[in-house]
Amino acid sequence: MEIKITKTTNPGVMPPESQLGFGKVFTDHMFVMDWDSVNGWHDARIVPFGRIDLHPASTVLHYGAEIFEGLKAYRRADGGVQLFRPMENIRRMNNSAERMCLPLLDEQDAFQALTEFVKLEEKWVPKSFGTSLYLRPFMYGDDEVLGVHAVHRATFMIIASPSGSYYAEGINPVKIMIESEDVRTVRGGTGYAKCGGNYAASTRAGERAALKGYSQVLWLDGVERKYVEEVGAMNVMFKIDGEVVTPKLTGSILPGITRKSCIEVLKNLGYTVSERLLSVEELVSAMESGKLEEAWGCGTAAVVSPIGKLAYAGKEYEVNGGKIGEVTQKLYDVLTGIQWGKLPDDYGWVYKL
């Protein structure tokens, strides 16, 4: 695939790395590629970062035809830049596209787009451990008619945002509220697709939890509100009585790449990992009997996020004395070690640019 590059005449400067935060600063360029049902994907280009032009009837604005991905470019100590399991993101994006009737990407073209774009924006990959260049590929339908149908026009883009360390102030366990009113999605819905609509539907519960002092919610399944699914924008894992338990992928859970990587690392370290249904009653009784040893969320943004408190039905339970547990810390060390190139990549997960 040929990518036409138009460079900016007005390059920006990287703010001090300690002031980056998340998703607020953008790089100089963006990748754009158009699709229509007659010509397929065409006009792959990298252009100066800027606003996009949308017809007011665009499908994405009315019917939510939108999917996205999130991954990071990491700076190694030797100055080089690397990606973590990028093909997993591309494949997942195609699974999301299929669910939302958006066009599939050619995997190799998408990989080329990602790598060429990151190479061009290399100076925006921050240097300190824990910081990264967050990459946000996304796709939306932009038919210019109001009729409801699979899209005939779409746009694929990649933007990038240098981001600070998630744990700039140290790894502090978070307080999570188990949500028993709103649900995120249901089986048969779009839970396994990374789409904007899932987020639109989950904001209210998150806001309500925040008002009560909780940082995120733990979702229960949408049919019975009985089984634990995931936490906010992360998958979730529990160490119960020596065994690591994580909800199995039933279709309403986002298949996280961090989740998958954690499972592989844990098995390799000799832990028993069980992907199964976990009811909230089982979780509560494990908390009451002291059998819940650790709990953590896992996702690209935080890598792992220890859970220090869980609230359910008006009661609050402390997990592991409100401190990060041994397994959580180990996972953090191994995954961040591989991602930032401090540990050898025995799994073949890293792609060096």
Q: State the nearest-atom distance from the C-beta of 216 to ligand PLP, in Å.
A: 11
Question: Which part of the chain contacts ligand PLP (CB under 6 A), choosing from 154-162, 231-239, 241-249, 323-331?
Answer: 231-239
Q: What's the start-to-end Cα distance of the chain, in Å? A: 18
Helix (H, G, I), strand (E, B) or coil at 246: strand
What's the DSSP call for residue 19?
G
The H-assigned helical ranges of the chain are: 59-63, 86-99, 107-120, 196-211, 257-268, 280-289, 326-339
Q: State the nearest-atom distance from the C-beta of 340 to ligand PLP, in Å.
A: 16
Half-sphere exposure of 341 (CA within 13 A, CB side): 19
Integer Cα distance of 282 and 300 in angstroms: 28
Contact between 263 and ligand PLP per CB under 6 A: no
Closest among 104, 102, 93 to 68, alpha carbons compared = 93
Contact between 44 and ligand PLP per CB under 6 A: no
Among 70, 196, 197, 251, binds ligand PLP (CB under 6 A): 70
Contact between 28 and ligand PLP per CB under 6 A: no
Residue-level length of the chain: 353
Angle between helices 257-268 and 326-339 (to 10 degrees): 110
Q: Which is nearer to ligand PLP, 120 or 328 (CB)?
A: 328
Q: State the nearest-atom distance from the C-beta of 94 to ligand PLP, in Å.
A: 14
Q: State the nearest-atom distance from the C-beta of 298 to ligand PLP, in Å.
A: 6
Q: Which is nearer to ligand PLP, 300 or 320 (CB)?
A: 300
281-310 mask for ligand PLP (x: CB under 6 A)?
------------------xx----------
What's the DSSP call for residue 233?
T
Binding region for ligand PLP (CB under 6 A): 70, 194, 230, 233-235, 254, 256-259, 299-300
